[in-house]
Amino acid sequence: MDMFDDILTSYLERTCDAEPALLQRINRETYLKETRPHMLSGHYQGRFLALLSKLVAPRYVLEVGTFTGYATLCLAEGLAPGGEIHTIDHNAELEARVRGYFEQSQWHDAIHYHIGDAAAVIPELSGLFDFVFIDADKKNNHLYYELALEKSRKGGLILIDNVLWKGKVVMDAGDPQTQQFVSLNERLAADERVDKLILPIRDGLFLLRKR
């Protein structure tokens, strides 16, 4: 299922804010150098992340899954003065390039980049999160969600990416990855600890607010 065809995507991108120059560069270099560039949030979803962050004005942000740092910088746009973002990824091969991107941004002092297992890093972070974005290895989504929810403040937001899984979650697809998302979505829909809805943006974003 093609959730957003190229014509609609082009229109959405033309009618939102322009992609900042550094993000344009990250986008271009990701598609030139990475074997799975579609993992990048991209222009439209990136502007959504930035706008939501600006609405929340978070002081403490967690991102699980850095990839090439595109979404990290989008989330950083809304940081409150003195705020910080902790972003976690397991891919050490990208570390030097991603740190280089962060250093070129105005938020370089606010970004804390962790290389390692998110399940081990998250419990070691102090404070309560205002905003969490989960976009990492899909089989551990529920684990990351539980860890993040435990360390989120009341009213804090959690976003989980790819929850429509190219539309397969409504097509009775029987493959293991699709079933992981079907199970995740059903568990989140029944979770009374949060307010929630799925936004049909790109590959689907589950937006949850801790009660």
**pTM exceeds 0.85:** yes
Residues 129 and 156: their CA atoms lie apart, in Å, by 7
At 43-85, the pLDDT tens digits run 999 999 999 999 999 999 999 999 999 999 999 999 999 999 9
Asked whether 196 and 189 are in contact (CB, 8 A), the reply is: yes
d(CA 197, CA 207): 6
Q: Which residues, 6+ apart, have CB-to-CB distance to 49 below 8 Å?
A: 41, 71, 74, 75, 133, 159
Please report the sign of the dihedral spanned by the C-alpha atoms of residue 17, residue 21, residue 27, residue 28: positive
Farthest-apart Cα atoms in the chain, separation: 47
Confidence at 171, pLDDT banded by 50, 70, 90: confident
Helix axes 95-103, 21-33, angle to 10 degrees: 170
Q: What is the domain extent for residue 158?
A: 6-210
**CATH number for 153:** 3.40.50.150
Residue 144 has pLDDT above 90, yes or no: yes
Any domain includes 188: yes
Residue 61 phi/psi, 5-degree rounding, is -115, 140
- Number of structural domains (the chain) is 1
Contact 191, 176 (CB under 8 A): no
Inside any domain, residue 1: no
Give me the numbers of helices (H) and strands (E) for the chain, helices first please.
8, 7
DSSP class of residue 96 equals H
The pLDDT of residue 159 is above 80: yes
Q: Hey, what amino acid is at 19?
A: E
